[in-house]
Amino acid sequence: MAMVALRQLLDEAAAGAYGVGAFNVNNLEQIQAIMEAATETESPAIVQASRGARAYTNDVFLIAMMRAAAELYPGIPVALHQDHGNSPETCMSAIDLGFTSVMMDGSLLADGKTPGEFEYNVRVTREVVEYAHARGVSVEGELGTLGGLEDGVGSGEIHLTDPDQAVEFVERTGVDALAVAIGTSHGAYKFTRPPDSEVLAMDLIEEIHERLPEVHLVMHGSSSVPAHLIDEINRYGGEIKQTWGVPVEEIQQGIRHGVRKVNVDTDSRLAMTGAVRRVLSDSPEEFDPRSYLTEARKAMQETVAERMRQFGQAGHAGDYEPKPLDEMRAVYA
C-alpha cells in the first residue's frame, strides 16, 4: 500500500468520530514501533518527522524507511507528515521528497522562535496549500502558539487561538487541518500540577468546532507524560522531575468536539528511554544495541498501541480503500 494523504485519514476519522495519533520518529525502531502498534490494533497511522528528525535521520534514509514500512504493512493506511515546517521551502522540499502531508507553521517566523503576524501566517500557509494540493498532498496550519520547545522550535510563549481569526484563517488558506493553541506545551515539562479548565482551554476547541464543523482540528503537545514512564527512568538512574501532561480524558473530550489529529512525541521518548536504562542497569555487561533497542521498540509499541485504543482509531484500518495521491489531486482540483 502506498502512503496516503492525511486528508483522507482525517475525513474517515471524522466520519467515524475518532481521533488519530500522530507519532514523531527519528529512527528505524520508532517507525517499526508505530507500524507494529498499528497492526496490533488495526489502526490507521500518522508518522511525522520534524526538521530536526529529517536532519538527524537524513531525508534519503527517512523516505526509504517509510516506503519500506508501507510495503511491509500493506493493510495499514499511513501518512508521512512534516511536523512544524518553518517555511514554504521546508514544506515544499518534504512534498518533493515524498511526504504525503505537511504542516506550515506560520504562527512563528522562519527562525522557529519569533511569533508571526496573522497576515504573514495566511500568506505562507496559502502558498504551501497551493503547492501541496496541486500534488495531492494535505496541509496543516497553526494559529496561536504553544508553550515549551520541540527540537528547538517554539517561542516559549502561549498565545491561545482566537476563534474569529480561526474562521478567517481557514477561509483564506484552504488548510485541511488546523492546529489550535489551548494551553498545551511541547516537551516533558508541560504542567506543574494536574491541568484543569484554568490551564487547558478545552472550551476553545468546542467553540472553534461549532464555527468550523468541517475542519479537522489538531492538538499539539498532547503527550500525557504518565507517571509510570517517569518512574521507570528514575528507577534506573534518571532525574526527570515530577510533571503532568495532557490527561487522556481531556484529549477524548477534544475528539468529541472535532479533534482528529493528536500529536504525541514525549510519551514515546520516555518509554524508550526507560527501557534502555532498565536493560543496561540489569545487564551492565550488555553492549549489543539490538538488545536494548529491541526493548525500547517494544516499550514504544506498547505506548503507541495504548494511545491508538484510547483515541478510538483501533479497528479502523480496513474501513476504506486508500486513495493514491493522483486521485487526491483530482479531489483538490
Give catalytic status of residue 83 as yes or no: yes
Q: Is 247 exposed, middle or buried (0-12, 13-18, 19+ CB in 10 A)?
A: middle
DSSP annotation of 83: E
On whether residue 11 sits in a domain, the answer given is: yes
Cα 273 to Cα 323: distance, rounded to the nearest angstrom: 37
Could you tell me the CATH number of the domain that includes residue 107? 3.20.20.70
User: Average pLDDT, stretch 15-20?
Assistant: 98
On whether residue 289 sits in a domain, the answer given is: no
Per-residue pLDDT tens for 240-284? 998 889 999 999 999 999 999 999 999 999 999 999 999 999 999
In single-letter form, the type of residue at position 237 comes to: G
SS3 288: coil
Reference 138, options 330, 328, 322; nearest CA is 328
On whether residue 293 sits in a domain, the answer given is: no
User: What is the tally of structural domains in the chain?
Assistant: 1
On whether residue 31 sits in a domain, the answer given is: yes
Is the confidence at residue 154, as pLDDT, over 70?
A: no
Domain that includes residue 252, residue range: 6-223+246-264+307-332
User: Average pLDDT, stretch 300-328?
Assistant: 97
On whether residue 166 sits in a domain, the answer given is: yes
Q: Give the DSSP H/E element, type plus range, for residue 59.
A: helix 59-72
pTM of the model: 0.94
Catalytic residue of the set 11, 83, 151, 265? 83
> Which stretch of 125-139, 176-190, 202-216, 306-320 has the lowest confidence by average pLDDT?
176-190
On whether residue 94 sits in a domain, the answer given is: yes
On whether residue 292 sits in a domain, the answer given is: no
Cα-based torsion angle of the residue sequence 69, 73, 79, 85 in order, rounded to the nearest 10 degrees: -20
On whether residue 93 sits in a domain, the answer given is: yes
User: Average pLDDT, stretch 308-332?
Assistant: 96
Residues in a beta bridge with 20: 261
Reference 28, options 50, 61, 5; nearest CA is 61
Q: Is 26 exposed, middle or buried (0-12, 13-18, 19+ CB in 10 A)?
A: buried
